[in-house]
Amino acid sequence: MNKTININLAGLFFHIDEDAYNRLQRYLSAVRRSFSGTSGADEIMRDIESRIAELFMEKRANDQQVISINHVEDVIEIMGQPEDYEVDEEIFEDPKRKHRSAGPSKQLFRDTQNGYIGGVSSGLSYYFNIDAIWVRILWVLLAFFSAGWIVLVYVIMWIFVPDAVTTAQRLTMQGKEVNISNIEEQNSFENFSTVADEKTDAGYRVVGQKGKRGTVKFFGALGRIIKGFFKAIVKLIGLCIFLAASIGIIALLISLVTAGSISIDGMQAADILDIGIPADVNIWWATLAVFFLVGIPLLVLAILGLKLLVSNLRSIGTTAKVALAGIWIASVIGMVFITTKIASSQAIKASIAKQEKFTVAPQKTLFLDVIETDFTDQVRINANNVKIVYDDEGPKVLSRDVRVAVTSTTDSVASITLNYKAAGSTMDEAKENANNIIYKYELTDSTLTLDNYFALRENKRLNQQRVDAIIALPEGTIFNWDDDFIHRYRNGISNDAFDLYDNEKTYQVKNGKAICIDCPVINEEKKVTTQNNEVVKDSVTSKTLNDPEVNEWQYQD
C-alpha cells in the first residue's frame, strides 16, 4: 500500500503516489539546476511543468486515477533527460562578443505530433524544408505509379526512423540548436490550439492535441505491433550471431591450445605444421597471430550480436576499441610477414641428378614395376601429397610425388636417372633440400621395382620436393609394365619419353621408338575396280609382328 499525495501542477490537480512524487521532484530539480543562474529560467520551468501536466492528463484514464511511477518515467522519456536542457553560457553573452559556431545539423525523425499515420511525411518535411502536404501528395503519386511498392518503403521508414518524442529530438529534427530560447519556444503555449471550454492553458493543449492526433493513436498501436515483431526478429538474429561468434572463439582457442594433440588422418597437427613452415618462422608466434587475426573479428561479431540482443548495452570504450584494432593490425602485419617468409622459402627451384647403369639380360623381357604403398591418410602440404609415419625413431615424412618415364638410349646398357627436385630461398638451399630426398628402387635379373614414394631425412621440411625417374633402354630391349607403373607415368618429364598407354602389351625399342610386338596387325582394305567397273575389297588379315610372314614394322609408338 503506497501513500498518495495531492499536487497542483500548472493549475491542474493530480493524485500521485509517494514514489512517483519523489521521482518527479528529483527530475524537476535537476532540470532547474540546468537553468541555474540564467535569465528567464522561471518562465521556462513553468512551461515545462505545463507540458508535464498535459502529458499526465493524456496518460491517466480519468480524474480519479493516481499518477504512478510508470507514468512519471514515461513522461520523463518524452520530455528528455535534464542534460538535454543544459546550454552553453555563451548564449547569454553580448552578441558582439559571442563566438559564432557552425549551424546545427538536421536529423531525420518521425513527427507523430503533426502526423496522421506514422509521422513520416511530417518528419521528411522538416528534413527537406518543404511543406508536409507536398510530401503526402508525393507519397500518393509514387504509390499509384509504383503499383503500391512504395508503401513498403513507407513501412520500413515507419519502423526504423525514430519518433521525435523528447524536446531535444524535436529541436534536432527542425534543425534548431538545443538552447534555452528554443526550448522555451518549443514548449510555449503558442504551439497548441486553444479550446474555450477548458479552464487552464494545459487543458487547451490536451484538447487540441487529441483532435489533431486521433488517427496517430490507431496507427501508433499498429506500428508498435509491427515494431515488436521486427524487434523480436532482430533479437533472434542477435542471439544467433552472439552464439555463433562465441562458439567460434571458444573453438578457435581450444584448437590452438590443443593443436599439438590433434590428429588429422592419424598424423599429429603439430608435426604437419612443423614440416610445412620454414625453420626460421616461430610456430608459436604464427599461432598467436592466427588467433588474434580470426578471434578479434569474432569478438566484434559477438559484441554486435549482444548489442542487438540487449538494447542498453554499454560500449566497451574507446581505449578497448583502439587496443583491439592495434592488435588486429599487428596480427595482419605478422601474417603478411609469415606468408612472405613461406613464399620466399620456395622462390628458387633446383635439381640434382643421380644415375645408375644396369644390364638387361638378352632375350628377356624387362618388367617395370611400381610398388603402390597405401597413402589413404595423406594430406597436401606445399604442393606435396604427404604422409607422416611414426616409429621408434620418431615421425618420418613420406611424399607420393614420384613420376616415371621411359626413353631410348644409344648406349649398350640401360640406365635409370633420378632427378631430385626441390625449392628454397636460394639456389644452395634448394639443392640442399633436394639432397635430403631418400628414394629407393630395386633391380633384379629382369625386373626393375620402384617405390611410389620418397622419404625425407630426419627433421627436414617440405619444400616442393619431387622425384623424376627416367629409365633409358638400349636398342632391341623388350619391356612391359604393370598398372601401378603406368599410373605414375608422365612423358612430360623428358623430351624423348615414349608415349605409353595403359594396356598389357609388350614393346620393343626399335630405331629410338617403342614398338608393340604383340599388337594385332590389320592390313588396310584395298579397293580394286574391274573392267565392269565393279569394286572388289581385298580380305583383311590379322597377324602379330612375331609371325614369320610379317617382315616389316607396322606399328610405331
**Segment 191-244, tens digit of pLDDT:** 444 333 444 444 444 444 554 555 666 666 776 777 778 788 888 998 999 999
C-alpha cell at 310: 540487449
C-alpha cell at 340: 612472405
pLDDT at 264: 56
Could you give phi then psi for residue 465, rounded to 5 degrees? -70, 145
Which range, 110-114, 125-129, 243-247, 394-398, is most confident?
243-247
Share of the chain above pLDDT 90, in %: 15
Query: Are 418 and 338 spatial neighbours (Cβ–Cβ below 8 Å)?
Result: no
Instruction: Map residue 420 onto helix, strand or coil.
Output: strand
Q: 239-262: string of b/e by CB count within 10 Å (b at 16+)?
A: eebbeebbebbeeeeeebeeeeee
DSSP 185: H
| More confident site: 300 or 194 | 300
User: Cα–chain-centroid distance for residue 37?
Assistant: 56
pLDDT surpasses 70 at 380 = no
Query: Are 473 and 497 spatial neighbours (Cβ–Cβ below 8 Å)?
Result: no
Query: Are 331 and 385 spatial neighbours (Cβ–Cβ below 8 Å)?
Result: no
Query: Are 480 and 505 spatial neighbours (Cβ–Cβ below 8 Å)?
Result: yes
Mean pLDDT computed over every residue of the chain = 76
What is the per-residue pLDDT across 53-111, written as a single tens digit (0 to 9) for each?
888 888 776 777 888 888 888 888 777 766 666 554 444 444 444 444 445 577 888 88
Instruction: Kindly tell me the number of DSSP H helices and DSSP E strands found in the chain.
Output: 15, 24
Q: Measure the CA–CA gap between 398 and 386, rounded to whole angstroms.
A: 6
pTM: 0.51
Query: Are 112 and 78 spatial neighbours (Cβ–Cβ below 8 Å)?
Result: no
Q: Which residues pair with 397 in a beta bridge?
A: 388
Q: Measure the CA–CA gap between 46 and 51, rounded to whole angstroms.
A: 9
